[in-house]
A and B are shown apart, each in its own frame.
Chain A
Amino acid sequence: MTQKILAAHAGLKEVKVGQLVMANLDLVLGNDVTTPVAVNEFNKMGVNDVFDKKKIAIVPDHFTPNKDIKSAEQCKCIREFAHEKGIENFFEVGQMGIEHALLPEKGLVVTGDVVIGADSHTCTYGALGAFSTGVGSTDMAAGMASGKCWFKIPEAIKFVITGKMQKWVCGKDVILHIIGMIGVDGALYQSMEYTGPGLANLSIDDRFTISNMAIEAGAKNGIFEVDDITLQYVKEHSTRTPIVFKADDDAQYSRVIEIDLSTIKSTVAFPHLPDNTRTIDEVGEVILDQVVIGSCTNGRIEDLRMAASIFKGKTVNPRIRTIIFPATQKIYLEALREGLIEIFIEAGIAVSTPTCGPCLGGHMGILAKGERSLSTTNRNFVGRMGHPQSEVYLCSPAVAAASAITGKISSPEEVM
């Protein structure tokens, strides 16, 4: 499926694994960390204009609202660049959201697109049947100038999904289960492609989470076969026409892995790699200092609903700091209207404006030496959320909510 999308965007009938192609881009993305470097490189190229003012998105979401003078300078640099070049999709604080939740919501990515972003979690849009992948700032600069990017055609791993998830299990548990099984380099340079009858039981938000963490298995992208759920989402969010690509029945894969959703349990990744997973019944006693719910991985409305259904009428352990980050302003507003924000505040939780802040140890929830955070984010590397001797455990919104109440890593059944 990935091969077909790339071939079409390179103007080729077919491509082979390992072939280098130059593909046309439908969207080029950057944030406040990566875009300043890209602006520098862009200026060195001696090009005046970007290739298409509509096909570039710049989202200041990492150190925003600005945490210090230096980050304010970075944002100023990209704001001025966006203004000067007439870039239409620059999302200021107040309208923005975490980039990978925001772009699909704004209808900027649709089925069949090729998207590059100077952010590793750009692979999120595979949920929509688009090819999208993370690149660096120089690729972003070249993409903004030319509207093209070079790719090596990847091999694919096929995941055949069957069954239906148990209560409290969601897309996050599915992807942690997969990464635990294949490892943090288990899909290195490859495409992860999801198909099978079980897709009907995965919501679009579950799919965004699963595609989002493809990079945590080393993959180039994580892409879902297109179905009614995909097309319904695209129709509701964009006026553009989706182009549906489907893998051939005789397509070649490097591996085929079957995933029966009904056998997956709530899963937690222990420090310091996302593949260091244990199912909830194997966790043991892990006492926490902080719980974070949000990010490009799990800050969507279904995630907040799941957390709220556990927090309703309860309060968090008074020893724990719990912080919730709706991923976009729209999600924030939806949560407000549905009464979820009230549930969170009454439970003793800090609710924040959208930002990537705590996920990458930027701001808004930094850990001190020896502290432990359970988080619905995507990485638990050494020092990821603060001090090099702090620890991050990754889980679903349901496990995070239950654990905030008990003060240690717990299954939702323990509190419900």
Chain B
Amino acid sequence: MFKGKAIKYGNNVDTDVIIPARYLNTSDAKELAAHCMEDIDKGFVSKVKNGDIMVAGKNFGCGSSREHAPLAIKTVGISCIIAETFARIFYRNSINIGLPILECVEAAQDIEEGNDVSVDVATGIITNNTKGKTYTATPFPEFMQEIINAEGLVNYLKERTE
């Protein structure tokens, strides 16, 4: 269960604005996190608190395959992303690094910046504590849930080979 304040963005947030290529000459997660979202929201890194939940519209994470994008979001302290839809490579990458993401049109549209939100990833139930509403996201197929539970594909594969 995750609980935090919502930080909201629009449609088609691309990986170039999540982490601009000028910072991709490193794979250090903390260094990447320091520049997360800076081209569309300069104040993001200073306002985000550990556990906060990112909420966005359609096609979140479109563009490049850089895993640095979900890694920066995870490292900066975001616990979970809710969007109407995700771009497919971003979707894979998030699951592979153990960053929970949920597709839910209703929640993505109704939750406002600063709302207090709780998420139960296993059931897909999202609660907006500010508005007193609940929404249901499509839960993950079992296989993906197992990868998330293992906190990423590497651990998942290791657990299976050990």
Contacts and interface: CB of A to CB of B under 8 A. Distances in A.
Interface of A: 20, 33-34, 36-37, 40-41, 44-46, 62-63, 67-68, 70-71, 74, 117-120, 122, 134-139, 141-142, 145-146, 150, 184-185, 188-189, 215, 218, 220, 273, 360-362, 379, 381-384, 388
B85 A188 contact: yes
B139 to A, nearest CB: 14
13 contacts: A40-B27, A135-B92, A136-B70, A136-B92, A136-B96, A145-B157, A185-B62, A215-B89, A360-B24, A361-B22, A362-B22, A383-B16, A383-B20
A118 B12 contact: no
B64 interface: yes
Given A136-B67, A383-B17, A388 B59 contact: no
B145 to A, nearest CB: 12
A307 to B, nearest CB: 25
Contact of A33 (B39, B63, B66, B161): B66
Interface of B: 12, 14, 16-17, 20-22, 24-27, 39-40, 58-59, 62-68, 70-71, 85, 87-89, 92-93, 96-97, 141, 143, 152-154, 157-158, 161
Contacts of A118: 65, 67
Query: Which of B25, B89, B92, B153 gathers most chain A CB within 10 Å?
Result: B25
Contacts, number: 136
Given A135-B92, A142-B157, A185 B59 contact: yes
B12 A273 contact: yes
A360 B93 contact: no
Contact of B143 (A136, A150, A362): A150
List of 6 A-B pairs having minimum Cβ-Cβ separation, nearest first: A136-B93, A136-B67, A138-B96, A70-B25, A185-B59, A120-B65
Contact of A382 (B17, B65, B157): B17
Contact of A388 (B27, B39, B88, B92): B39
Contacts of A33: 21, 24, 66, 68
Given A119-B65, A139-B153, A382-B39, A360 B87 contact: no
A37 B69 CA distance: 12
A130 B14 CA distance: 27
Nearest to A137: B67
A138 B69 CA distance: 13
A379 B63 contact: yes
B72 to A, nearest CB: 12
Contacts of A37: 27, 67-68, 71
Residue in A118, A119, A136, A138 with the greatest tally of chain B CB atoms within 10 Å: A136
A384 B16 contact: yes
B39 A383 contact: yes
A45 B96 CA distance: 13
Nearest to A30: B65
A220 B39 CA distance: 27
B154 A41 contact: yes
B58 to A, nearest CB: 6
Nearest to A69: B25
B8 to A, nearest CB: 17
A136 B152 CA distance: 13
Contacts of A122: 65
A379 B89 contact: no
B67 A138 contact: yes
Contact of A120 (B40, B89, B152): B89
